[in-house]
Amino acid sequence: MNLYNSFAKAFAENHDKTALRVPERELTLTFSELERLSAQMANLLLEQGLNAGDRVAVQVEKSPEALALYLAVLRAGGVYLPLNTAYMPDELAYFVGNAEPGIVVATQRQMPVFQQIRHDTGCVFQMLTLEADGGGSLTTAAQVHAETFASVERDDSDIAAILYTSGTTGRPKGAMISHGNLSSNARVLGEYWGWQKDDVLLHALPIFHVHGLFVACNISLSQGTEMIYLSRLDIDEMIRQLPASTVLMGVPTFYTRLLADPRFDSELVKNMRLFVSGSAPLLEETFAEFEARTGHQILERYGMTETGMNTSNPLNGERLPGTVGFPLPGTSVRIVDADGKVLAANEVGSLQVKGPNVFAGYWRMPEKTASEFSSDGYFITGDLGKIDDQGYVSIVGREKDLIISGGYNIYPKEVEMVLNEIDGVLESAVFAFKDKDFGEGVAAAIVTDGSASVTDTAIKGICKGRLAGYKLPRKIVMLEELPRNTMGKVQKNILREKYGS
């Protein structure tokens, strides 16, 4: 069924309860207000010509209205396509050209960019604006519409959202995520993490990725519980709000930044029930320091855009640092060797998953989809893992060439493609360096033709206009040549060893 219907049930039971508290705007929104606002927006989307299955691309700041828009798209039977606010025009042009949305919602500032994209791609779409303060043509036009809306019928297998993830080829793929994927994952996580009626989630993640939207918001919405909704990670605000919260979800950077603040102590978190970490590896030292400071063990879980959440450390049993816990109920996880043979406990191999959480495939890429599934229907995650004899899963590395910085994924190929186009750059290799704040950062080794104009600053300046901020190389090393093996393949492990710390 339509994912929204599982939220609607919780909304009906919690009509007058606070759904969102937004300290920065001194605003609260009840579940009935959220329902009415999303109904008005859903009516507007239909008036704008949205048909079931049409994509609605959204590049907006985090706001309660942005969350209502997500609900409106679900209710209207559309496909929600959230876009990171950091994406630059070239990146956006690819997503829009590929997904062909019927409607684009963005800030007024971005309108010229989308107008240009409409012109260049020939893609026909309506445009609406939404600002961080909730203003814009979307909310103004929605106001005149009815406050009720009967959700468009959708099956579990119908697509609710497309989220772009990049790839080793540098060409992003749209992961098609179904209503069934999202409702099953939200239900399983709510149960596994012992969600309670009076839980209050402190929400400081962006809502254009799986973690902030499909884990954090979907659980709270389907359980009818309150969110303290911050526009971004602001440690001062978080410290003000922690005493009123019971659950926090974050990437490891959230926890290292909290620990760096002397005000963060056990007294501040005495109301807290659960701290969840994911999207990137949590260092064992962070787990230990956190426990020593607060008495709480961070619960680490593991997921992917294509699969939602796959595994989690237990709520009540032992949370083992350095592991991502057990497969979630209904999800099967296995470790296989290069021939697809299932490996014994503690052996390291390719991690594969199967279950109702696993996505429907890549948008308009049937061959790519087929190549990422085993013949018996397991999704090949590209992560290297092992399962110990108690069943705890650990992620020990990656088969894919991927950098994860502060929870954002960067595929080196995307950055190399931009670097290689710069006049005077002969070749480049992008790799991770260790970063205290973000876990990993983007480094680039560059071979130039010797021109004086190809400086560190010039390269960074050119990249800035072409790539989202978090993808920019922050460390550049100029080399005479790249280290290669006898097959001619660049040895990134050597670059990481020499320049990666």
Residue from 64, 180, 407, 473 touching ligand MCA (CB under 6 A): that is 407
Q: Is 406 in the site for ligand AMP (CB under 6 A)?
A: no
Cβ proximity to ligand MCA: between 4 and 433 the closer is: 433
333: which residues sit within 8 A by CB, 6+ positions away?
Answer: 310, 311, 327, 351, 352, 353, 385, 387, 393
Q: Is 303 in the site for ligand MCA (CB under 6 A)?
A: yes
3-state secondary structure of 25: helix
Backbone angles phi, psi at 30, to 5 degrees: -85, 170
Q: Is 312 in the site for ligand AMP (CB under 6 A)?
A: no
Q: Is 37 in the site for ligand MCA (CB under 6 A)?
A: no
User: 320-339 mask for ligand AMP (x: CB under 6 A)?
Assistant: ----x---------------
8 Å CB contact between 282 and 321: yes
DSSP track, 407-472? TEEE-HHHHHHHHHTSTTEEEEEEEEEEETTTEEEEEEEEEE-S-TT--HHHHHHHHHHHS-GGGS
Q: Is 439 in the site for ligand MCA (CB under 6 A)?
A: no
Residue from 21, 179, 187, 211 touching ligand MCA (CB under 6 A): that is 211
In sequence order, the β-bridge partners of residue 325 are 393
> Which of 250, 254, 248, 243 shows the shortest CA–CA distance to 274?
248
Exposure string over 347-359, b if 16+ CB within 10 A, otherwise e: eebbbbbbbbbbb
What residues from 455 to 494 belong to the interface with ligand MCA (CB under 6 A)? 469-470
How far from 484 is each of 444, 449, 465, 490, CA to CA, in Å? 15, 19, 30, 4
Spatial distance between the Cα atoms of 458 and 447, rounded to a whole number of angstroms? 14
Q: Is 233 in the site for ligand MCA (CB under 6 A)?
A: yes
Residue from 40, 241, 246, 279 touching ligand AMP (CB under 6 A): that is 279
Q: Is 68 in the site for ligand AMP (CB under 6 A)?
A: no
Cβ proximity to ligand AMP: between 231 and 279 the closer is: 279
Cβ proximity to ligand AMP: between 103 and 210 the closer is: 210
Q: Is 305 in the site for ligand MCA (CB under 6 A)?
A: yes
What residues from 33 to 62 belong to the interface with ligand AMP (CB under 6 A)? none
Spatial distance between the Cα atoms of 220 and 195, rounded to a whole number of angstroms? 9
Q: Is 278 in the site for ligand AMP (CB under 6 A)?
A: yes
Q: Is 323 in the site for ligand MCA (CB under 6 A)?
A: no
Cβ proximity to ligand AMP: between 138 and 216 the closer is: 216
Spatial distance between the Cα atoms of 315 and 175, rounded to a whole number of angstroms? 29
**Token pair listed for 128:** 């609406």
Which stretches of the chain bind ligand MCA, using CB under 6 A?
205-206, 209-212, 232-233, 251, 253, 278-279, 303-305, 405-408, 438, 469-470
Residues near ligand AMP (CB under 6 A): 165, 210, 278-281, 300, 302-305, 324, 381, 383, 395, 398, 404, 409
